[in-house]
Structure 1
């Protein structure tokens, strides 16, 4: 059994998709981040960064294994199950490239775009222009990669699970996929997978729809080093 700590956001969906695709038994622990539960000392032992998602794998010999950060979790689960990752060194190299691309480029840029689009009433104009440009630039990177391929590595893999959620919500981010036909087709193929639909619908009613913003919730949007100071 795997304990899955998450919020119903694109980062949480990445791991939920993998758990569903692999058919692993898990218990989803919905975390109310607006109330600061991510700073609980016991949770910080699992996720030192105080972020979602994180897992505790109890289906192992010896002590349970904790894993935080979505990319690390996907690699861990892929190795645990032998699914959704290449077996050869060259293929694994490509997988790591695209996972790091997502965690270093697409994900952070999309997250900042979401912030200025949906949660920051003040300072929206510059922030939206800046991160909308970066978001669409990353769509172009993905568009070029998918030229002649159904999926990022050819076969469906953790690389697709990592990148799909932030493309799924392009419209709420104020972006259009009209200029990216390869991305649009890829998004459609993944969206129709039953495991993906189950993952995205997990605790759907608890998704943050803008009721928290940079002006009314310091826990979510105005953290600093003091957020993690102990004692």
Structure 2
């Protein structure tokens, strides 16, 4: 029996943060597929009343507790499991600094860029896409420079800052129209280090919703 449920769908980098964390800590969990691009259940009064008033995923269910926002979920699971937890106040603040930078400046630009380019029913305006890509490129360069100095964002060991930051970076290059790993070698090496962690899985393999609009997975689970 699963200890956790996670409301998610395969194309959501925000949900992938939580799903990856659950895998990496060895948790027993099951996904609850949200047909974000179809039925739009997340907009229903029932979902907003019973699951998440913000109408978003991910939502982690742990018994009677429901948690939303990926940074909150990562922090909760790290504290509960004792894994990927920043040690001491200085590391906690540094992890929070990178998580906020990620949400605002890295995946905060990459996510909308990818959505408007690849997933939206009406493609994004070219000028808007150019703006988002330009900002994402500059901020990815900051992350790459950081990772030239150490294996992970906070030093020698991975923390929730890394799990947050990598969220959108495992999606296929064709969805972005450019190869992030190829353009940023230190990020590429870091992604390989995370990929080598026990329990790692690709978002299209560990969350339902691939192909788009189905409950499938890239590699069918047995």
TM exceeding 0.5: yes
Q: Is the Cα–Cα contact under 8 Å of residues 46 and 67 in structure 1 kept in the other structure?
A: no
Q: Which protein has the bigger helix share?
A: 1
Number of the residue aligned with 2:94: 94
Structure 2: gaps of 5 or more residues: 214-222
Q: Is the Cα–Cα contact under 8 Å of residues 85 and 160 in structure 2 kept in the other structure?
A: yes
Please, which of 155, 163, 166 is the counterpart of residue 164 of structure 1?
A: 166
Please, which of 183, 188, 210 is the counterpart of residue 184 of structure 1?
A: 188
Work out the CA distance in 1 between the residues paired with 2:208 and 2:33. Answer: 11
Alignment of 1:175-214 (within 5 A): 175-177=178-180, 178-197=182-201, 200-203=204-207, 206-208=210-212
Q: Is the radius of gyration larger for structure 1 or structure 2?
A: 1
- Superposed displacement of residue 190, structure 1: 1.6
Change (3 A) 1:123 1:69: closer
Number of the residue aligned with 2:103: 103
Alignment of 1:51-200 (within 5 A): 51-58=56-63, 64-118=64-118, 119=120, 121-154=122-155, 155-169=157-171, 171=173, 172-177=175-180, 178-197=182-201, 200=204
Given the two structures, how large is their TM-score scaled by the length of structure 2? 0.84
- Superposed displacement of residue 173, structure 1: 0.6
Q: Is the Cα–Cα contact under 8 Å of residues 20 and 198 in structure 1 kept in the other structure?
A: no
What are the superposed Cα offsets for residues 132-188 of structure 1, whole Å, 9 maximum, x if unpaired? 111111211111111221111111111111111212226121223333111111112
Given the two structures, how large is their TM-score scaled by the length of structure 1? 0.81
Q: Is the Cα–Cα contact under 8 Å of residues 95 and 161 in structure 2 kept in the other structure?
A: yes
Structure 1: gaps of 5 or more residues: 59-63, 210-231
Work out the CA distance in 2 between the residues paired with 1:123 and 1:3. Answer: 33
Number of the residue aligned with 2:218: none
Change (3 A) 1:205 1:69: closer
- Superposed displacement of residue 87, structure 1: 2.1
Q: Is the Cα–Cα contact under 8 Å of residues 102 and 162 in structure 1 kept in the other structure?
A: yes
What are the superposed Cα offsets for residues 111-143 of structure 1, whole Å, 9 maximum, x if unpaired? 121123213655532122111111111211111
Structure 1 residue runs of 4 or more that deviate by more than 3 Å after TM superposition: 120-124
Q: Is the Cα–Cα contact under 8 Å of residues 31 and 207 in structure 2 kept in the other structure?
A: no
Work out the CA distance in 1 between the residues paired with 2:211 and 2:71. Answer: 22
Please, which of 49, 69, 78 is the counterpart of residue 54 of structure 2?
A: 49
SS of the counterpart of 1:197? Answer: coil
